[in-house]
Structure 1
Amino acid sequence: MPDAAIRGGCRCGARRIAECTHPIEYGRTVTNFPPMSPSTRIYIAGHQGLVGSALWRHFTARGFENLIGLGSSELDLRDAGATAAFFRATRPQVVIDAAARVGGIAANALRPADFVSDNLRIQLNLLDTAVASGVERFLFLGSSCIYPKFAAQPIREEALLTGPLEESNEGYAVAKLAGIAQVTAIRRQHGLPYVSAMPTNLYGPGDNFSPHDSHVVPAMIRRFHEAMLADIPHVTCWGTGLPRRDLLHVDDAAEACHFLLDHYDGDGPVNVGSGTDIPISEIAHIIAEAVGYDGEIRWDTSRPDGTPRKLLDVRHLAGLGWSAKTPFAEGIKTTYDWFLAHQDTYRR
């Protein structure tokens, strides 16, 4: 294991990886190339989505002048020819793949084939075109749902492919696993510093609050908000409320992506999470309080819970010098404020 410096030192006091009490594994090193500059041409694929819009905010706030983005109505990343033409026209130096077909349990159950096909085509076209176009750095974003359903907690990166997946999002997970494999293959065949990051469950401004295919946090925000306005005496949530979730504010995730592009060049994927997890029942109460809903919260145990626990082990990322900053209750408040400012978008 290389005795590389840890930028800013680690939480355990170590200044070098070899001295760290939770060392970086399987060839993880800091990068040997300089940090990106404000003039770097960065293509953020999926820049209008939850993660992509946070990345756009993050880099804009730090003075980056050459951000590249195009909406799905203008560029279909499932089209290999259109993707290649776009790269020729824009010549990105760095690509962050935040583009994906995403959705909650209901959406995955209704359209599993779409989740496999669309995500495979998007990431294949982006990675193949990046290699052919000479893109210098590439960050592929997966998801914590790629890990086995009953992986030991907290989940280490080495748990990949060691057990069966959660059935409710298997198609999406399989596609993302293929993306990780492609990044690894590109590193081996072409020697390019392309890397993968596995974010935990993300939430924040720009989330999808649709009643049909949203994730747990935005779904609860909308449900409690509407119940509060209608003075409904109780709200029913899916499952038992017992599963636990590791939730990371999307602005923290964007900062972590920037950090990894500047400070990481390793073969394996890196977990990006908060380092803690919360029962879904507690998540519901925190959201109800933020919204101002004081009715009863009930649980429909006939509905699926999903994975019982999903906490990512973030020691590798912490060893490189990064950790999350936004407390969950504070993050929920900013998310609800954003929803209130944009709720006309969701009147459907």
Structure 2
Amino acid sequence: MTALGDRDAASAAGGPERHVPVLLSEVLEWLDPKADNVIIDGTFGAGGYSRAILALGARVIGIDRDPDAIAAGQSIVEDAGGSLMLASGQFADLEQHARALGFEEVDGVVLDLGVSSMQLDEAERGFSFLRDGPLDMRMEQAGPSAADVVNDLPVRDLIRIIGLLGEEKRATSVAHAIDKARKEKPFSRTLELAELIERVLGRSPKKAQIHPATRTFQALRIYVNGELHQAAKALGAAERILRPGGRLVLVSFHSLEDRIVKRFFQDRTRTRGGGSRHMPEEEVPPATFELLTRKAVEATAHETGANPRARSAKLRAGRRTQAPVRELDIHAAGVPRLAEFHGLGG
């Protein structure tokens, strides 16, 4: 998996490192799968993590919302001889998928957040701002597309989406330019939108390798697929399905994802509340996780040299305690509140 932000545009559009799983050795180290363990790979993609976990003797429940990934994974299912079970759907529902397959608890969960390189590399999927294709970006290939968002949402909502989810400082300028252009002709192709954004923002000499459309495309992709909602809900689902001692490993690719993961672990590993000499210490519920990574684990120079998509990857991991499951407020965890659009905005 990868993301459209925080890296050079060429690698974001796809390149020779296609389908290479990011931070693979680190994922295996912190996930620590054993023979006969049951591991959920919530973002199956091309099966990179799943293959490595299967090779260590564990069983894998692979989940993916992209029907193309599920179809392509059937050959791995056949090779695995019953050790790999694939489920089509969202990783936010990983608990339900596991229980539907007969597992009340699992030994590990790994999530590689962001968009798959398989999707980026296919122009017809509409994720890339360097490859012309329909302005789509739907991982599940169903529901409202990026073109629907760009053509139908009020300007104020576009500003919030591009500003919050893309962290684009000039979101207002981009949104108003989109509004002016769509009145003459609705957007239908990726390069139509990318070229408009480039005309509005120009090219920064200091960031010549980063395409001006990077942040807007990231924002649209995240919004269309409800990615931050998915990530936060998946954390809660992992807490419910992991056995005591089970491990949760997450790889994120931009600050919005990593912030949610970091806040979740900070909250779930906290053992003491705030307090002062004027106020009593806050009582906190028992920690549901033990933090395994004190700071985010990043790719080595060797890996980033071979696979530019690993440059912004950050891994965080925790181990489930015996404490009871707790309710999760996804907005407190860092999911922005946005105007609703077909149920995706939150």
| TM-score, scaled relative to structure 2 | 0.27
